[in-house]
Amino acid sequence: MAAADARMASRRGRLREACSLLGLDAAGNDSLHRPNPWEFLISRPHRLVWCNVFKAASTSWMYNFNVLAGYSPKFLRSSKVVPLSLARVKYPRPSAEQLRAALNDSIAFLIVRHPLERLLSAYRDKLQFSLPHTLHQRLGAEIVAKYRDPSRRQHKGKGNRNPRWPTFSEFVKYLVDVHKNGEPFDMHWAPVMQFCTPCQVDFHVIIKFETLQEDQNYLIHLAGLQNTIKPEWKNPAKGRSTNKLISSYYSQLSRMQILQLYDIYRYDFELFGYTLEGYLDYGTTEATDTQNTKQ
């Protein structure tokens, strides 16, 4: 626990320092300078407050919060209802006032992940391997229609160079335009800064995906819940290692595109101590716009 205490103190200190340097800790009326309670789940009986960051162990902790809410593991295994929908029955979206009140006597935590690793996970889950007849499949078709060369679209679905889903490069072009136009991001790849407003909320525990097992144990013991829930890791990556996946997909981008992604997620990089180290090495002088479909 002592090592984890020191790790959390260091992360909180970095967050506070970065928030101050970037001017994000001041109160204001815009979306970056006021708390956004929308994605928080508050367990008053267990004095836990969680901001649910998608693609950062969100499935695992949605399961744990549903267990804390009283759903049995057997029911959760058999239920066809989306876990978030089950959770919102027990944890209604709080108001800013309710969030502030809960923060006074609860442990607030969030889980973060390298922004570009989280983005790749969201792309693979929601676009490359999207389920039929879903919003994300329709979004993928819209991205292909807008960003794929017309001559390639004539040969729809033929070969790895022309898949039915958007290539990673096409997806990034879409993201850059969304950012440039000031449009809202899908919750699965929205920056944590927008989602959880960490400069406006006092988080006691900042769990990192890179030290997930140790950090989850720390939180569970800190909250005194070791007899109720346990560290979970649902939906772990399958197939190739994370480093090989990162290399495979980010080598499809140009260095300029990777820098554009850094600009989109700049605050997440700064606040949580992530860097572009290694990623720019994958980028080409021009985007290759290919798609590797091996898993």
Burial 38-77 (b: 16+ CB within 10 A, else e): bbbbbbeebebbbbbbbbbbbbbbbbbbbbbbebeeeeee
pLDDT at 54: 96
Structural domain boundaries, residue 88: 2-115+191-222
Q: Is the same domain home to 272 and 160?
A: yes
Pairing, β 205-208 against β 107-112: parallel
SS3 150: helix
- Residue 287 belongs to some domain of the structure: no
CB 86 within 8 A of CB 66: yes
Q: Give the position of tokens 């101590």.
A: 273
**Is 231 contained in some domain?**
no
On whether both 202 and 85 belong to a single domain, the answer is yes
Could you tell me if 144 and 260 lie in one domain? Answer: yes
| Residue pLDDT, tens place only, 191-231 | 999 999 999 999 999 999 999 999 999 999 999 999 999 88
Domain identity same for 43 and 65: yes
On whether both 59 and 144 belong to a single domain, the answer is no
| Residue among 168, 190, 138, 152 at smallest CA distance from 254 | 168
pLDDT digits (tens, 9 = 90+) for 108-147: 999 999 999 999 999 999 999 999 999 999 999 999 999 9
Question: Within a domain: residue 232?
Answer: no
User: CA-to-CA distance for 35 and 85, rounded, in angstroms?
Assistant: 23
What's the rounded Cα separation, in Å, for the pair 272 and 233?
21
Per the structure, the count of domains in the chain is 2
> What does the pLDDT read at residue 293?
47
- 130 and 67 in a single domain? The answer is no
Both 253 and 163 in one domain: the answer is yes
Same domain, 44 and 161: no
Q: Are residues 65 and 107 both part of a single domain?
A: yes
- Across the chain, which has 295 residues, the per-10-residue mean pLDDT values are 95 98 94 93 98 96 97 97 97 97 97 98 97 96 95 61 92 98 96 96 96 96 95 62 92 98 98 97 80 50
Residues 149 and 88 occupy one common structural domain: no
Task: Check residue 124 and report its DSSP letter.
Answer: I
Burial of 213 from C-beta contacts in 10 A (0-12 / 13-18 / 19+):
exposed
User: Are 124 and 204 within one domain?
Assistant: no
